[in-house]
Structure formats: C-alpha cells, structure tokens
Structure 1
Amino acid sequence: MKVKVISRSVDEFTRERSQDLQRVFRNYDPSLRPQEKAVEYVRALNAVKLDKIFARPFIGALDGHVDAVSCMTKNPSQLKGIFSGSMDGDIRLWDLAARRTVCQFPGHQGAVRGLTASTDGRILVSCGTDCTIRLWNIPTTMESDDSTKSTAEPASVHVWKNAFWGVDHQWDGEHFATAGAQVDIWNHNRSQPINSFEWGSDTVISVRFNPGEPNLLATSASDRSIILYDLRMASPVRKMIMMTKTNSISWNPMEPINFTAANEDGNCYSYDARKLDEAKCVHKDHVSAVMDIDYSPTGREFVTGSYDRTVRLFQFNGGHSKEIYHTKRMQRVFCVKFSGDGSYVISGSDDTNLRLWKAKASEQLGVILPRERKKHEYHEAIKKRYKHLPEISRIAKHRHLPRPIYKASKLMHVMADAKRRKEEKRKAHSAPGSIKTQPLRRRRIIKEVE
C-alpha cells in the first residue's frame, strides 16, 4: 500500500529573519485588482512625502583649516581619503569616516590653487601662487589612531617663473598639466616642463585631462575662452570664446566626449567636444557665479558650488537642479567633489570648513535589510511611474530656499521675462526676417576659433 504525504518546508511560508510572520501570496491578475492604479498613486504620493520628511543631507563638517578652502582632490587609492588646500598654504589629508586630519603637508608660502593625485595613488601634486610645484608621497595607510596628526615633507619642489592657478594629472600616465600664464606639461622626474602651450596672452585658470583619451585636455582662461589641447600635436586643437568667464571644467567619466563648464553667469553649459558651436544643455538655477563642478563616477549627475553660498546637484541632461544644499554658516563655496563611490558630496567654502553631504538627501544610512532595500526600490519605481502627475511633481520639486537666494532667483525670472517680451515686441514691429534671435544653447557663445 502506498501513502502519499504532502511535505512543505516552513521556510517557504514564513518571511526571512522571523518565524511568526506568514508569507502572503498574491495573485497579480489585473481583473482581480480594479483599484490598482489608485492604490499605487497613493503609495507614490506617500513615498514622495516620506522623502521630504527624511531629507537630511548634511552629515558633518571637517574643521581644521584656519583659512578659506580653495581646492580639493580625491585619493584614488583610498575611498575615504580626500585632500584639501587652503588660502594660507596648508594642505591636509582627511579621513572622511572619522572626520579628522590624517596627515598635514605644509610648505606653500601663498594660497594653494591646485591639487591632484596620480592614478596609482602614490604622488600628490600641489601648486600655488608662490610659483612652486610640490610633489608629495601619499601615505599608504590611514591609521585610525586619534593621536597627533603626522606631518610630511615634499619629495621634490619645482620653482617656476609664474604663479599657478590649477593642476590636473593624467588619468593614465606620468604627466600632469599646470595652468597659469600658459599651459605647461610636466613629468614626475623632470624639474622643467616638457612642453608648453599658449593661445592668447591671458591667464589660464583651470585645466582638466580627458578620462578616456589621456593626451586630450581642456582649459579655460580669463579671456572667456575654452581651449582643447592635444599633447601629440604642437599646437592647440580648438578654441571657443564665450560671453562670460568659465571658472571650472569637468569631463563626463562615462561619456568622455562631453564636458560641462561652470560659468560666471550662474549657468553650467554641457558641450560635445566634437561640436562646440552650441551647448548640448544649459543647466540653470544658481543666482551667482559657479565656482567649481565635479561629475559623479556614474556620469549621470554632477555637483556644483557657487558664490551664492549653495551647493546644487544636477542631472547630466537636466536643465534645472534636482537638489540644493545650504546651511546658515556656509559661505561662498570654492570647491566641490563627489566621493569615489558617488554616495557623498564634499564641499569646501570660505568659512574654512569642509562639509560632507549625502548625494541623495533622503537616503538611509547604515545597514539596510533585504526587505528594506526591496521597499526602497519599490518606492523609487512607483515615484518614477507617477512623477508626471501634478501633485507628485509639485511635492518632489519643492525646496525651501534661503531668503536671499529666493529673492535673487525671483528677480532673475522677472528680468528674463521682461527681456523675452521685449524681443517679441521688437520682432513683431520689425520687417519679417530682419531680426534673428539665437536659441539659449547658442546665445552665450561669441565665436569659435579653429
């Protein structure tokens, strides 16, 4: 005689990490759930409201400098390490996890204007207004001991005839470029530049190497120009002159043909290096000059720091910022960086502090259980599905702004509307075709010089 017995495992009918909660099996047949859209809409609305409730982007401040923080760079070999330089010549290596100084690099007699690290994480290059370039050996470990911080000595010092305003290292190679009266290309083992580029007589204020092509670099100068150089050629490649000065440039690490320029007029302009006659996108919202810009390692967003004392996060193809970070004590922001994993943002400002922010304001810190992670993913999915609806869009876009920023942005909107109405009236009362208005993506470019 055969006896058939139904055997079921207890794990299949109980939720993880608990033996008392029964697992619920759902039938996803649409005909059985006529109120599915209404229920999901309410869930999306609640998810957006929860994001506002839990939006606490500010994590902490790193206090140690005694003068304004002028530049920063990441440590390629340490995820939690970042270097900062100040106006008094002090350079520090910070441990972001412990929020303390690991090592101090004294030596510059004036302001530190540029910091960069080699790709292997061994050499730190600094330059400043004292006409010197200093190479430092980066500590291999970041001890967690809370004793007094160590002090390093420069491995080599190169004295030059002009002050420096920026420096950047090749993503793959031993060369680094400095910006000053001209663009100089240096090698780790040489005390003199191996090559120099000059196009015009004005000061070069920023330089950035391309992450995909090691020999290509972009610079911006005080004559409002953006210039592309190739180390394999004896002369510069392309030059473009804008209506206002560009303070900083950042390449998209995932799309190395595209770069974004932080401009003095409060906007950022994204360009394709192959076609410089118009911007791919204009990123607006700042009410004062944008001082620095840095892309996330994912290439999907970038962070900007402005003279209006705010930090903003933009989508790589978004015309307006998706987040704005500010505190009462934070002054003019001179430098910003994404962390190596893209989860955090570091800003350096005129009040001598470095501030650590979350890249996603409402992100939950700490260990996240599998059920919590599934819940967050579900909330993100339904918010994306219903983001076009008016109420959800209104709540998601709303930001509390400081009163000066709010008044300045309102005034800029009034001025832009008045200018638009004036152009429309002038075109309406003129002969057809006599007045041509350029689109916003081309309006800020004066000319392109081959």
Structure 2
Amino acid sequence: MKVKVISRSTEEFTRERSQDLQRVFRNFDPSLRSQEKAVEYVRALNAAKLDKIFARPFIGAMDGHIDAVSCMAKNPNHLKGIFSGSMDGDIRLWDLATRRTVCQFPGHQGAVRGLTASTDGRVLVSCGTDSTVRLWNVPIPTLMEFESDDSLGDGSKPLAVYVWKNAFWGVDHQWEGDLFATAGAQVDIWNHNRSQPVNSFEWGHDTVISVRFNPGEPNILATSGSDRSITIYDLRLSSPARKIIMRTKTNSIAWNPMEPMNFTAANEDTNCYSYDARKLNEAKCVHQDHVSAVMDIDYSPTGREFVTGSYDRTVRIFSYNGGHSREIYHTKRMQRVFSVKFSCDASYVISGSDDTNLRLWKAKASEQLGVLLPRERKKHEYLEAVKNRYKHLPEVKRIVRHRHLPKAIYKAASLRRIMTDAERKKYERRKAHSAPGSMLKEPLRKRRIIKEVE
C-alpha cells in the first residue's frame, strides 16, 4: 500500500526573522502586469523624493586642533584611524568611531605640509616648512581604545628626524616598498634607514607642491609644480619621463586605484582634469562645478568616485567619468577646505578645513547607518535599480539633481555660467563672419594644456 503525504516546511511560507508573517508569492508574467512600467515609475519618483527627505550627510566634527588643518593621511591597516596635521605643527591620530584624539605627535616647528603612512601602517612620515622629515611610531590599534580624555596617548619622540636644506610641501609613501618621496625645491626619494635622499629628480627650478606614487607600479610617481606643470617620474630612470604645462597651477593629484594608468588633477581654475598617463596631450574628462580653486582630491578605494575640497568652502563627490558632481556638502561654519579623504571602506568622507575642524560625512547622503536586515537591503537595492532605470525622465532627473547651495556659491555659479555663455556667443559670431575653416575651436580637454614635453 502506498501513502502519499504532503510535506510543507514553515520556512517556505513565512518571511525571514518572523513566525507569523506570510510570504507573498507574485507572478511576474508581463501579460498579467499591464501597469508594470507606470507602477515602477511612481516608485522611482517616490524613491527619489525619499532620498531628499532622508539626506543627512553630516555625521559630526572632530575638534582639537588650534590652527587650520593642512593635510591628512589614512592608515592602510586600520579602518577607523586617520592622521591630521595643522599649520601650527600639531599632528593627531583620530578615532573616527568615537571622533576623539587617540594620540599626538609633537615636534614640528612650522606648518605640517605632508603626512603619509607606510605600507604596513606602523610608521607615520611627516614633513613641513621647518625643513624636516620626521618618522613616527604608530600605536597598535588594540592599544588605541581609551575611556576618557585624560588617557590621550603621546607619540613622544620620533623614530628619526632628517633635516634638509629647504622646506617640504608634500610627501607620499610607496604602496608596496620602503621608499617615500618628498616634494619641495626638488623631488627627493628617501629610505626609512637613510638620513640622506637615495635619489633626487629636478626638471626646472620651480617648487614641487604635491607628489603621489602610482598604486599599481611602485616605481612610477606623479608631481605637480608651481610652474603649472604635471610631471611623471620613473625611479628606474635617471631623468623624468613626461611633463605637461597647463594654463593654471595644479594643487593636488590622485591616482585611480582600480585603473592605475589614470590620474585626476585638482586645478586652480576650479576644474579637475582626468588624464591617461600614456596619452597626456588631452584630458580624458573635465570635472566642473566648483566656483573656486580645488585644493585637494582623493579617490574612493572602489575607483568609481573621487572627493574634492575647494577654496569655495564646499566638498563635492564626482563620478570618475562624470563631468558634474553628484553631491555637494557644506555647513555654515565650514571654511576653506584644504584636505579631503575617502575612508578605506568607501563609506565615509573626511574633510579638514581652515576653521581647525575635521568633519565626517557619509559618502551617500541618505544611506541608512547601522545593520540592515536582509529584506531592508533588498528593498534599498530594488529602489536604487528603479531610480537608475528611470533617471532620464524629466521629473525624476530634476529631483535627483536638485541641491540647495549657499547663496555665495549660487551667485558665483550663475556668474560663471553667464561668462561662459557670453564667450561661446562671441566665438560663434566671430566664426560666422570669418572665412570657412579659418577658426578652429579646441575642446576644453585640450584647451587647458599649453604644451607637452617629452
């Protein structure tokens, strides 16, 4: 005799983490869902509006410095630690989770202009206008927990102090290796165990103001100088490799960690320019939106976005291939932003400004903090996909792009727009009254470059 039994488990018919909510089964057959596009469009519209309602990017300020924050550095081996240096020579290690100072490194007599951590995260390298390079021992993360402000750590004496002939304006460590480079009157390459530079590079006699090692090729580095140049060096060669001269000065450079052949330059003319190091005769992309000089730039670890800080007192987040920013952060008290960093998990942005504060922001303004349930995560992913599907439609596009700007920046942006339109109209009129082919217009990607030097 055969007995057939229907066997059904409770998990198949109830939602996760609940014993009483029944799971809903849906049939996604297009013939049964004639209003599918209309429903999804409304959901995309509502999702865009909800993003605006829940946009709270500012998390908190880290107060402790008594002068402007001039530079910052991340610890590659510790997620919630960040170093900051100020114009009065004070260097601090911050704990982002508690937003308090963990350790101080006293010693510099002038402004700290450059900070970088070694590959293993155990050595901090700092340099400044007092013509010294100092190596510090970084506290072990497990010892960085503290209960009260009375237990602040002190970096005491540096591991080594290298005194040199001229002031330093920047420093960067190899992604893999024991070398670090300093920018000043020339580019000097140092070893941790040597008190003199192991190599020096010079192309012209102007000051080098920033230096960055390539994340993919440890022997390649890029620098920017006060003579409006961007230069690429190879440590294996005795002379510099490539150089371009732009119309305005470049304040900082950042390599894309996922595409190490590309880098982006933060320029004095309010724009950022993305280049392919193999083809420097034109920029790959021009990133516009700031209304004053861009002072610092840093790429997200994912390589899809970068953050910029500007003299116009705002922080903007750009897509690596987008001409305009997707986000702008500002507060009433924040002054000129001199340094910005993406956190090592790409979830947060840290900015250091002229008002002595470091500020912590969310990389996605409306992102929900804390642990998400599986259903919550699926819901967020679905709404993001729906928004992306209908982002080209006018109403969704208008809501997603809208940002409230400070009055000064709004007026400056309007003025720049008027000037750009007037310049374009003038060119079109001159072209209309000139012989055909006599006036050739170069795109902005090429127009900002004066010449390329091999």
Query: CA contact under 8 A between 2:270 and 2:293: conserved in structure 1?
Result: yes
Please give the alpha-carbon distance, in whole angstroms, between the structure 2 residues aligned to 1:182 and 1:10.
Answer: 72
Query: Is residue 217 from structure 1 mapped to residue 229 from structure 2 by the alignment?
Result: no
Please give the alpha-carbon distance, in whole angstroms, between the structure 2 residues aligned to 1:165 and 1:5.
Answer: 79
Amino acid in the other structure paired with 1:218: A
Alpha-carbon distance, 1:3 to partner: 3.0
Give the 3-state SS of the residue equivalent to 1:394 in structure 2. helix
Query: CA contact under 8 A between 2:146 and 2:152: conserved in structure 1?
Result: no
Amino acid in the other structure paired with 1:283: H
Equivalent residue runs for 1:122-201 within 5 Å: 122-141=122-141, 142-146=144-148, 147-152=150-155, 153-201=157-205
Query: CA contact under 8 A between 2:207 and 2:225: conserved in structure 1?
Result: yes
Query: Is residue 203 from structure 1 mapped to residue 182 from structure 2 by the alignment?
Result: no
Partner of 2:396: 392
Partner of 1:315: 319
Partner of 2:16: 16
Partner of 2:412: 408
Partner of 2:452: 448
Alpha-carbon distance, 1:56 to partner: 0.3
Alpha-carbon distance, 1:20 to partner: 1.6
Alpha-carbon distance, 1:249 to partner: 0.1
Give the 3-state SS of the residue equivalent to 1:383 in structure 2. helix
Equivalent residue runs for 1:333-412 within 5 Å: 333-412=337-416
Partner residue of 1:276 out of 259, 275, 280: 280
Please give the alpha-carbon distance, in whole angstroms, between the structure 2 residues aligned to 1:304 and 1:281.
Answer: 15
Greater mean deviation of Cα atoms: 8-17 or 286-295 = 8-17
Normalization by structure 1: what TM-score?
A: 0.99
Aligned length: 450
Partner of 2:441: 437
Alpha-carbon distance, 1:269 to partner: 0.1
Alpha-carbon distance, 1:11 to partner: 1.4
Please give the alpha-carbon distance, in whole angstroms, between the structure 2 residues aligned to 1:284 and 1:3.
Answer: 74
Please give the alpha-carbon distance, in whole angstroms, between the structure 1 residues aligned to 2:113 and 2:309.
Answer: 16
Amino acid in the other structure paired with 2:198: I
Alpha-carbon distance, 1:241 to partner: 0.2
Please give the alpha-carbon distance, in whole angstroms, between the structure 2 residues aligned to 1:17 and 1:341.
Answer: 28
Partner of 2:5: 5
Amino acid in the other structure paired with 2:93: L
Please give the alpha-carbon distance, in whole angstroms, between the structure 1 residues aligned to 2:316 and 2:135.
Answer: 32
Please give the alpha-carbon distance, in whole angstroms, between the structure 2 residues aligned to 1:440 and 1:243.
Answer: 12
- Give runs of ≥4 in structure 1 deviating > 6 Å: none
Give the 3-state SS of the residue equivalent to 1:368 in structure 2. coil
Partner deviation per Cα, 1:119-161 (whole Å, 9 max, x = no partner)? 1011100000000000001111222332331111201100000
Query: Is residue 52 from structure 1 mapped to residue 84 from structure 2 by the alignment?
Result: no
Give the 3-state SS of the residue equivalent to 2:307 in structure 1. strand
Please give the alpha-carbon distance, in whole angstroms, between the structure 2 residues aligned to 1:425 and 1:79.
Answer: 56
Amino acid in the other structure paired with 1:215: N
Normalization by structure 2: what TM-score?
A: 0.98
Greater mean deviation of Cα atoms: 292-301 or 11-20 = 11-20
Give the 3-state SS of the residue equivalent to 1:396 in structure 2. helix
Please give the alpha-carbon distance, in whole angstroms, between the structure 2 residues aligned to 1:211 and 1:21.
Answer: 50
Please give the alpha-carbon distance, in whole angstroms, between the structure 2 residues aligned to 1:223 and 1:145.
Answer: 49
Please give the alpha-carbon distance, in whole angstroms, between the structure 2 residues aligned to 1:148 and 1:264.
Answer: 42
Partner of 1:115: 115
Query: CA contact under 8 A between 2:222 and 2:230: conserved in structure 1?
Result: yes
Alpha-carbon distance, 1:2 to partner: 3.2
Please give the alpha-carbon distance, in whole angstroms, between the structure 2 residues aligned to 1:426 and 1:235.
Answer: 45
For structure 2, the residue ranges without an aligned partner over 5 or more in a row are none
Partner of 2:265: 261
Query: CA contact under 8 A between 2:72 and 2:341: conserved in structure 1?
Result: yes
Please give the alpha-carbon distance, in whole angstroms, between the structure 2 residues aligned to 1:364 and 1:150.
Answer: 33
Please give the alpha-carbon distance, in whole angstroms, between the structure 1 residues aligned to 2:235 and 2:5.
Answer: 77
Amino acid in the other structure paired with 1:144: F
Query: CA contact under 8 A between 2:44 and 2:383: conserved in structure 1?
Result: yes
